[in-house]
Amino acid sequence: MTSETITAESAGTWKLGDLTVNRIGFGAMRLPQIGTALRADAAPSDRNQAITVLRRAVELGVNHIDTAAFYFSPLRSANELINRALAPYPDDLVITTKVGPGRDPSGHWLDHATPEQLRGQVEENLRQLGRDHLDVVNLRILGTASIAERFGALADLRDAGLIRHLGISNVSPEHLAEAQAIAPVVCVQNQYGIGVRPEYDEFLRTCGEQGVAFVPFFAIAGAGREAGASGADGEEVLAVARAHGATAAQVRLAWTLHRGPHVLAIPGTGNPDHLAANVAAGALRLSEDELARLESVHHGGA
């Protein structure tokens, strides 16, 4: 399933607030470096290839790109690449960014951001992307502490017109309820995939019932996390892939889209062939029997 003619429209659409996006999107975390993401000593990617991938993504119908100011290697920034490749931006392009614990200029992680630092991060994203407002901003957190003060700070920026819609990331159902008492939440971005965090199954369903998009990350990378996909897929996933003439990565992506119409995929890649394959995965329809077999892999943790 690598047809270049399959576009992101094949996965259907979802509305983030008033913004309609195709359910197959793109994650920009892989663009700034070769190999493991978010390392201070990462080897910078080839700028022209990264720009080619971004432009091809839009040509293939991708209109939802996930990014962050802290996605950078020593010489490349995801936001700068997006700006360079895609500005002036297509009217229907939705760029989702995230703020929270950031990285200092040398690439080392910082602590939780204060409300004032969150404003600075929003402004940093605006500068790098060259925009006057951000379409969607996720508050990314670590741990279980209350997010009321930090989410409230972003709600103020939304009221001020710097942000159109808000989301939250790395969160629990309790965080969602806490945030919704402050301002509307259009998306939850959490780690999820076949065999990855099955304990989020219920949360994913709850999001759907509330009209909140669930946006999984590491759907392909799985346990490889920032290091990327290991390619070590179990026999069940490979058998489903073979039956469709697809790859295991495509099955992993398609499976997330089958979890509900509110699930939005944001696969990350710096490879143009993988990009086309990921977009094509939006057209992959899994049978009830295949879904049942993958469900048992999901709960077995394979």
Ligand X SMILES: NC(=O)c1ccc[n+]([C@@H]2O[C@H](COP(=O)([O-])OP(=O)(O)OC[C@H]3O[C@@H](n4cnc5c(N)ncnc54)[C@H](OP(=O)(O)O)[C@@H]3O)[C@@H](O)[C@H]2O)c1
Report the first-to-last Cα separation within the chain, whole angstroms. Answer: 23
Least Å distance between CB 241 and ligand X? Answer: 11
Q: Give the nearer residue to ligand X in terms of CB position, either 160 or 232.
A: 232
Candidates 6, 11, 24, 30; binder of ligand X (CB under 6 A) is 30
Candidates 270, 282, 283, 297; binder of ligand X (CB under 6 A) is 270
Q: Give the nearer residue to ligand X in terms of CB position, either 79 or 189.
A: 189
Contact 126, 132 (CB under 8 A): yes
Subset of 163-182 contacting ligand X (CB under 6 A):
169-170
Scanning 108-164, the segments in alpha helix (DSSP H) are: 115-129, 148-159
Q: Considering the rule CB under 6 A, would residue 79 count as an interface residue with ligand X? A: no
Q: Give the nearer residue to ligand X in terms of CB position, either 145 or 292.
A: 145
Least Å distance between CB 193 and ligand X? Answer: 7
Least Å distance between CB 248 and ligand X? Answer: 8
Candidates 33, 121, 125, 269; binder of ligand X (CB under 6 A) is 269
Q: Considering the rule CB under 6 A, would residue 29 count as an interface residue with ligand X? A: yes
Q: Considering the rule CB under 6 A, would residue 102 count as an interface residue with ligand X? A: no
The CA-based dihedral angle spanning residues 236, 240, 243, 247, taken in that order and rounded to the nearest 10 degrees: -110
Q: Which stretch binds ligand X (CB under 6 A): 103-111, 204-212, 234-242, 272-280?
A: 272-280
Please state, in angstroms and rounded to a whole number, the distance separating the CA atoms of residues 228 and 268. 9
Please state, in angstroms and rounded to a whole number, the distance separating the CA atoms of residues 32 and 36. 10
User: From residue 143, how far is each of 140, 267, 270 by CA, in Å?
Assistant: 10, 24, 30
159 Cβ contact list (under 8 Å, min separation 6): none
Count the site residues for ligand X by CB under 6 A: 28
Could you list the beta-strand ranges (E) of 6-71: 13-16, 19-22, 26-27, 33-34, 43-44, 64-66
Please state, in angstroms and rounded to a whole number, the distance separating the CA atoms of residues 226 and 38. 7
Residue 293, Cβ density class (10 Å: 0-12 exposed, 13-18 middle, ≥19 buried): middle
Q: Give the nearer residue to ligand X in terms of CB position, either 160 or 222.
A: 222
The verdict on whether 200 is a catalytic residue reads no
Coil/strand/helix, residue 279: helix
Subset of 208-267 contacting ligand X (CB under 6 A):
217-221, 228-229, 247, 249, 266-267
Least Å distance between CB 220 and ligand X? Answer: 4
Task: Name the residues that contact ligand X, by CB under 6 A.
Answer: 27-30, 66, 98, 140, 169-170, 189, 217-221, 228-229, 247, 249, 266-271, 274, 277-278
What amino acid positions are annotated as catalytic residues?
71
